[in-house]
Structure 1
């Protein structure tokens, strides 16, 4: 969003920009395609780098590659291996000057491992069928290189990476070069000593056998449910048998004690004998974990294997690795985020590949592919702002790969991937979206599993702080360690990373969160986080607005323009329902839909699931007493188009139609303004339009509180109270025309933990009913809601409820005077004036007076925040600014 900040002496501000319109419309069918549908970069954009990655739509030789992903029931396109590609670049459209010609390759990404000179560049890609030399070329695209990016570090070509892996074992983590230093540096490391004692006990554990991790009754279940339950019974088996091998290898490298590597050998040979097609190690997660463990030992214990054992391990590693790799080129790199691979399997394959890079000829191609895709696509569910699209609950599943693949590819390339803009901003995403002692944004799969910061999040933040020396991150980690010392008393998955980066004399600088702004926007993933006191979120108010350009893809939900309110560390309003898997009715018809979120339904119809159901954050402002965000979900509604999700409905023999939550609702405009005000108030102002009259429902979900309806004598005002053991709140909703309120504690699709899903502590989750409130209008094409939520329950003084053609609603709550235009046929307008705080927010064309003087906005259609600070007027003004994906990588 464009923000203009200035210090004013006079309030009367009129200039030549007064007629500029600040509102932008987005009409793209989607902002992120599930499988790439258009080339990048194109349309003459100025790319924010000097060595970009070229991306283009894949083909099977006849059509685009079908949108399949790992774990999906949608069959893989059988022809993905039928083609090969190459690219050409030049500084002229005829490809005669400064020509760069790529080699033939099987995949549809081309990261440039060389700096391009500033100016205009042209490029095209071609493909041909295997065993053919008849190249079919695309049209020519162009882009600009800005001189200001000339000094950026460029990753080396794959030849350099392969050469760095030509040495003797152990290759992983550069141990053949740093092994002696690793040993000496950790001789007196207290954590290393504790880990060695742990490894001593580990050697006493019996060899594992192929059996379920848990037993779950499948009686009476459907074939699909039985399949999911059986997978659930073996879930985690690969880690259970593989992790001890890794740990014993690390213990050997810390001590040079042969007992550790010989016991690792005993275990590795045991799991090498396990059936690669069996239930225990046959799926992508369990097989990947076994593959990684075998790679660990083959590399670290190479000198302790005879020729027959080496051949045996090499063959099983090759078999399991090819099962992963053969399904990647011309598919995986095209996908917006094939979750299983990015989360886990890519790391498994990379570790195994390096272990056999000099013994298995195909491994050089495997590593080439992974390095190129990593260079072109990481981070897949964010760009530069540090955010992650799917929410904090499932972000955790990516943590190990983010840490270890960044370390590994950094070892190979010499590039410090922790210096990427996304990595540098990641600390702020952690701090703002999941403050210590508080709940998170309450969106996306498994959000309910993190009522507070759990172990995996704590370990990740600690590991990140070793490479991203951010004083706010260091403070965050220190607070977590002070509040949760039990998280750091044993070993964990980030031990090796800490050992590799151990510096006993490391200086740790911290800064107080008081130095940070009260709000921060992560527009790439569509989150605005607003805090009363970021340094003490466990005892204060936090609120979030969610509207994602990625849409409801992957583990994300149809939660565009949803809000979350956390108070004293707990979710007051937020998402509701429970995650068990992708494919039951509760998940598809409730938990993943807009019905589970505090957002708007139109004729009781949800937003779309899939990349097509997207939102975005046009603007935000942060002041001392007022925090503000605007979300746009105008493109989030309509029929589901994603083949992946339509297949999920087919699996349970149900249709996503109007009788089942989904369908065409006719929504053409949904812009939600959210303001957090000093004194523990939250204000929502909704602008709504459709191409036909619809019943608009604004929803409120209180997953941990009870909701009670209040009696109201006004037909266009409704009140309800939330209460639990520690707090209560009052919500008041105003409209121009009559509205109705329904309060209940039932899910529209019942929740049953038939899959015996567990929480982070391993306890089976209890799917309890939760409380919900819905306030619905009469059918209308254009409509507005004004909602005032006050955490400390008190009276809402109504100065004026609209009952005439003007439609102006005037409300007083605490120190705040609120004036809103609720007539949907008139221009939207909102003014919030705080007498004590000497702060004012204004949007729209209503006349404004602040501190006794008239104010006129510089930019028509803007949002303006005025505050008196130390006797000076500080003005911040914002108009719509498009997210980066629309600036750099849009379809049209």
Structure 2
């Protein structure tokens, strides 16, 4: 009788080339087949690889050599079908390499549930299922391999010691430098040898080897950015074991090496949640923080603790009257359900809020009533099952909150607890810590998602509270620090970017700061000098200035700046004595009264009133966040007046799911505080029918649709590219390429744009936006663009609609209380339009429909190419709109007040030069603005040659941006002009027949020196 030697219970280990978010290796050989799908059981019944265009595999490592002759692979269920790959085979390890197993038969179950492969009997200590690049199941899973159960049978099974072979994932993209790798620990290993070099053969002078007793490693210094390879071998009692496969690592440029830990603080309290200097606190509450302190004490005096979620989608709607919540029940039959999830989240949040609140109040006042309340909550939460509904394998938000709450209470009340009470709390904490440690190590989660960030925060805080009582606690802290440095903080690059939007920036930053401060308080290691933390306040300032419209992409409640944001900016202000961050925090605090107890404690801890505040008087109005591909432009950062605009075209940061949308080359536009063109939909809750059916999809965003299809949604490859951004003299040119995001549906989709910000002193002008779409597809298709509004748009008669040839343009208008807008649309193919209100019934928001309007323009007949020009005129109600004349679909003349703007764009397909009023340029775009600014302006973007009346003025091998000020429109360049050249790198160009050296950046030149 044959036995399944693949089972974990047999002693077989398993690993894979990669892991989709939330997925782990355990389901591959846990004995649970695919009789049910994973609805509500994410990551518990199957393993999935990352969705990347490369080979994928899963390997079984037997406890010694096995004689095998049969394998059965149960494929994962997915929406009524099984994800059986189109191409795959089995391989065994022979002669130091993988070789295909010889099959004698292959039987596919009729509905694809499993495949049975009979093998010519072979002896091997490992076997793997291999899928070549692109060999996955049809229907969007071509680049992903999945397994519910991998069974391998032997007629003569041999039990033995677990395999000592280490298997690494195939590759790692590390923004951090140096990188961090992890691997499955080997039982009995004394240590590990870790080797990295520039070639997979590990040859040459750049090969370095280090030894560690941990199952993770980070080089001791930053290395040259670029491609590296790494391998690991266990060091056993018999010597060094077999080298692992080589992991390919692409190392980025965010260089940061954490310093060593200092002297660890013993005794209690040691965590930074309760005030230690009561005299200092009393002096502080005589000042502006007094109202916060009084609000905090007022909450401590109330009979119950309510649930106030940081994010609206997490808010529980259950009765909040109970003073001490019972441990919430687990999910029914283990199946996730939104209201039970919210119930569990609320219970965990109450534990954290209550213990933090009462512990703080006791430390601040010495009133034993608060001590007794804190103790009651602490012992109550310690009685909850660490592996139950609030455990890490159930709801990680609650797992975080309960563990951190226990840690704060244990630390703050240590001297007030009996030994038996300490033991009860410590055992509960240790059980939760060990579960979390197994969950995070080895690290196979998606670091671009905020969940591992707060999971790691809990691991560190709990371990810091117990570091001198639990043997492994110091290692847990060390690992948490390396995760933050090696995987998390570097993701935003050196400019402070954040890919999950403004709300999740605030939400995640709270955990980041608490982690940084807890580590600093106990170990002396200060991570607040990380380059991302130095710069990230700018992200919040530009996406959500106090009192101004929120301009953010992805999952967001579009929440204006408030007290949660204030706490974060107070902290950032305090670490660098940043007057601008202090201004933001004070202004945000005025917008919203803090309610959540944990927030009041953050404000008390992080607000330093001695730091002066400085409003953003001289900051640029335009900011590009290149890591996430977002451009933001505002007339002002101090309020709603004028123009507020954001454009997105950047890399997709997630692996699967996450908080990013299918919104490449989309934009948002406000004027005088009123929404003109919006991101559509509501973030009711993650995974809702509205969320998946509308909110994250391309049709909810202001971008392109092809044959009714949008971009890849929350999948790798859904990338845009911010090709170019150039702020210059009150305007900004930008260009985004969203071609890849359509997954092969389009051959080209490049969107060029110009935004002219509202001019001060013009009572009617609120700005001008001009977009040019250049699209090509493989065959004739229906192509169209979408626009979304919260105000009702209406069609305007084309009073003239002048053009040289082609279809007559569309003009739509809408108006708010103060601002108005006209949208002019002209394409090279006849268009039809469709205006709808609301959403399809199957994807309406769960908490009520929004009054939103959706305008689509699409080609009346299929086309293989498409160019369109959009002019968006913003003006105050009661004033006259601009006059727009389309010359063709790549050229428009806009008369706005006293200014006349002529816009020209280059069609990629023709590559023709741009010609206007004697100027001829080989460039991406040219704009001539006459008068209106008191003088004329000429912008030429991405130019490689410029001629005036046949005379060559400028020539370069690499593109350069040019801005001419005071240039006469009719008779060419003169000596009284100012010319600014913008170059993205050092180069030499020809200007007026002479060689001119350009350094990266801007160079101002007076043409007089060439005459």
TM-score above 0.5, yes or no:
yes
Query: Residue in 1 aligned with 2:788?
Result: 701
In structure 1, distance between residues paired with 2:402 and 2:502? 27
SS at match of 2:871: strand
In structure 1, distance between residues paired with 2:541 and 2:951? 39
Change beyond 3 A, Cα 1:283–1:130: farther
The offset of 1:575, in angstroms, is 0.8
When the two chains are superposed, the root-mean-square deviation of aligned CA atoms in Å is 4.1
The offset of 1:606, in angstroms, is 0.8
Query: Residue in 1 aligned with 2:34?
Result: none
**1:337 partnered with 2:448:** yes
Q: In 1, are the aligned partners of 2:492 and 2:532 still within 8 Å (CA)? A: yes
Query: Residue in 2 aligned with 1:675?
Result: 755
In structure 2, distance between residues paired with 1:129 and 1:262? 52
The offset of 1:737, in angstroms, is 2.6
Deviates more, 1:491-500 or 1:674-683: 491-500
Query: Residue in 1 aligned with 2:866?
Result: 783
Q: In 1, are the aligned partners of 2:731 and 2:755 still within 8 Å (CA)? A: yes
- C-alpha deviations, 1:546-603, integer Å up to 9, x for none? 1121356511111111011111223321210122233333222321011111111122
SS at match of 1:102: strand
In structure 2, distance between residues paired with 1:868 and 1:154? 50
In structure 2, distance between residues paired with 1:391 and 1:375? 21
Q: In 1, are the aligned partners of 2:273 and 2:356 still within 8 Å (CA)? A: no
Query: Residue in 1 aligned with 2:43?
Result: 74
In structure 2, distance between residues paired with 1:694 and 1:570? 36
SS at match of 1:186: helix
Query: Residue in 2 aligned with 1:561?
Result: 665
Change beyond 3 A, Cα 1:719–1:388: same
Deviates more, 1:418-427 or 1:184-193: 184-193
Higher RCO (CA 8 Å, separation ≥ 6 residues): 1
- C-alpha deviations, 1:155-213, integer Å up to 9, x for none? 234xx36x514x222221398xxx75x33422311167656655655555457799x95
Aligned pairs, number: 754
- C-alpha deviations, 1:115-136, integer Å up to 9, x for none? 77x9999863215599996332
In structure 1, distance between residues paired with 2:797 and 2:20? 51
Change beyond 3 A, Cα 1:291–1:558: same
In structure 1, distance between residues paired with 2:626 and 2:472? 41
- C-alpha deviations, 1:350-394, integer Å up to 9, x for none? 222211222222323322221111121232641211121011132
Query: Residue in 1 aligned with 2:417?
Result: 305
The offset of 1:789, in angstroms, is 0.5
Query: Residue in 2 aligned with 1:46?
Result: none
Larger radius of gyration: 2
In structure 2, distance between residues paired with 1:789 and 1:852? 34
Query: Residue in 1 aligned with 2:497?
Result: 387
Change beyond 3 A, Cα 1:72–1:396: farther
**1:105 partnered with 2:214:** yes
SS at match of 1:408: helix
Q: In 1, are the aligned partners of 2:662 and 2:710 still within 8 Å (CA)? A: yes
TM-score (norm 2): 0.67
Change beyond 3 A, Cα 1:857–1:256: farther
Q: In 1, are the aligned partners of 2:264 and 2:524 still within 8 Å (CA)? A: no
Q: In 2, are the aligned partners of 1:598 and 1:700 still within 8 Å (CA)? A: yes
In structure 1, distance between residues paired with 2:942 and 2:588? 43
Change beyond 3 A, Cα 1:244–1:567: same
In structure 2, distance between residues paired with 1:198 and 1:880? 55
In structure 1, distance between residues paired with 2:545 and 2:948? 34
Structure 2 unaligned residues grouped into runs of 5+:
1-11, 24-39, 48-57, 61-181, 187-191, 308-314, 320-331, 759-764, 802-806, 913-923, 968-974, 987-1011
Q: In 2, are the aligned partners of 1:667 and 1:689 still within 8 Å (CA)? A: yes
Greater fraction strand: 2
| Aligned positions of 1:512-551 closer than 5 A | 512-536=615-639, 538-550=640-652
Q: In 1, are the aligned partners of 2:826 and 2:870 still within 8 Å (CA)? A: yes
In structure 2, distance between residues paired with 1:580 and 1:393? 14
Change beyond 3 A, Cα 1:207–1:215: closer
Query: Residue in 1 aligned with 2:258?
Result: 155
Q: Paired residue for 2:904, among 820, 827, 834?
A: 820
In structure 2, distance between residues paired with 1:770 and 1:223? 39
The offset of 1:862, in angstroms, is 4.7
In structure 1, distance between residues paired with 2:211 and 2:746? 47
| Aligned positions of 1:258-269 closer than 5 A | 258-269=368-379
Q: Paired residue for 1:867, among 962, 965, 971?
A: 965
Query: Residue in 1 aligned with 2:268?
Result: 169
Q: In 2, are the aligned partners of 1:558 and 1:594 still within 8 Å (CA)? A: yes
In structure 2, distance between residues paired with 1:131 and 1:621? 61
Query: Residue in 2 aligned with 1:616?
Result: 721
- C-alpha deviations, 1:782-813, integer Å up to 9, x for none? 3221111011274554555339xxx7555544
Query: Residue in 2 aligned with 1:25?
Result: none
Q: Paired residue for 1:801, among 853, 867, 887?
A: 887
In structure 2, distance between residues paired with 1:681 and 1:412? 54
| Aligned positions of 1:397-436 closer than 5 A | 397-412=507-522, 414-436=524-546
**1:710 partnered with 2:796:** yes
In structure 1, distance between residues paired with 2:886 and 2:944? 16
Change beyond 3 A, Cα 1:99–1:339: closer
Deviates more, 1:77-86 or 1:567-576: 77-86
- C-alpha deviations, 1:214-252, integer Å up to 9, x for none? 349xxxxx9999712321344322112321211222233
Change beyond 3 A, Cα 1:86–1:498: farther
Query: Residue in 2 aligned with 1:48?
Result: none
In structure 2, distance between residues paired with 1:595 and 1:565? 17
**1:351 partnered with 2:455:** no
Deviates more, 1:673-682 or 1:351-360: 673-682
Q: In 1, are the aligned partners of 2:546 and 2:584 still within 8 Å (CA)? A: yes
Q: In 2, are the aligned partners of 1:617 and 1:632 still within 8 Å (CA)? A: yes
Change beyond 3 A, Cα 1:611–1:493: farther
In structure 2, distance between residues paired with 1:812 and 1:737? 25
Deviates more, 1:435-444 or 1:808-817: 808-817
- C-alpha deviations, 1:435-487, integer Å up to 9, x for none? 22122124211243x1x223322332233222232233233334334x52x53
Change beyond 3 A, Cα 1:230–1:509: closer
Query: Residue in 2 aligned with 1:188?
Result: 283
Query: Residue in 1 aligned with 2:839?
Result: 747
**1:723 partnered with 2:818:** no
SS at match of 1:314: helix
Q: In 2, are the aligned partners of 1:786 and 1:820 still within 8 Å (CA)? A: no
**1:245 partnered with 2:355:** yes
Query: Residue in 1 aligned with 2:436?
Result: 324
Change beyond 3 A, Cα 1:86–1:876: farther
Query: Residue in 2 aligned with 1:125?
Result: 231
Query: Residue in 2 aligned with 1:33?
Result: none
Change beyond 3 A, Cα 1:355–1:413: closer
Change beyond 3 A, Cα 1:738–1:518: same
Q: In 1, are the aligned partners of 2:457 and 2:480 still within 8 Å (CA)? A: no
Q: Paired residue for 1:603, among 700, 707, 717?
A: 707
**1:480 partnered with 2:579:** no
**1:830 partnered with 2:925:** yes
Change beyond 3 A, Cα 1:369–1:459: same
| Aligned positions of 1:452-491 closer than 5 A | 452-481=560-589, 483-484=590-591, 486-487=592-593
SS at match of 2:624: strand
The offset of 1:735, in angstroms, is 1.7
In structure 2, distance between residues paired with 1:200 and 1:111? 45
TM-score (norm 1): 0.75
Q: In 1, are the aligned partners of 2:220 and 2:257 still within 8 Å (CA)? A: yes
Q: Paired residue for 1:136, among 243, 248, 255?
A: 243
Greater fraction helix: 1
In structure 2, distance between residues paired with 1:289 and 1:410? 21
